[in-house]
Amino acid sequence: MRLAGLLKESVRSSVIASLAMMAVGFLLTVLGARVGYYGPKFAAFLFGESTPMILFVQHFVIGWISTLPFLLILRWLNRVSAPLVIGVAYGGAYYGFVNSFALPLFFGERTPWEIGVDVIYPSLLVHLVFGASIGFTARRWLAREVALPHQSDGAAASPRYSD
């Protein structure tokens, strides 16, 4: 795996996915749902304040950091057949661990599971969109990565394609 290609794809896919989840989040906010609850809290913790610019930049940086492990998982699975499905699973797992467990624990608050479904579904939905978007946008990168020869033995990788 080429590090430069991984980093480039991580930035590219994370920007697209971050914009996609923001669009869904804005729509859900207009509809009265609780979305982006921890963004301002995390920005205030890190920077002492939570301005729109800080939130905007923070969103993309967190998106980039969150995309890297997913791309590594895709590459490790060596699968080009289901990155969208794997992305949805990653988005759900990310929500489950980070947003519904780690952040409430860090800020000393109740988990969304204790509050109710009205708090769970909006954030879960935007994280599913995030993962699906990365899975969709990373397909071409993944296909190129899987087609590269293994660095250890020089043999061509054998991608597992399915219809």
pLDDT at 149: 63
| Average predicted confidence (pLDDT) for the chain | 88
Task: Using 70 as the pLDDT threshold, list the residues of the chain that sit under it.
Answer: 1, 79-80, 148-163
Contact 15, 67 (CB under 8 A): no
pLDDT tens digits for range 113-151: 999 999 999 999 999 999 999 999 999 898 888 776 654
Per-residue confidence (pLDDT) for residue 80, from 0 to 100: 63
What's the CA gap between 115 and 121, in Å, rounded? Answer: 12
Q: What is the pLDDT of residue 137?
A: 95
Task: Decide if 100 contacts 55 (C-beta within 8 A).
Answer: no
pLDDT at 41: 95
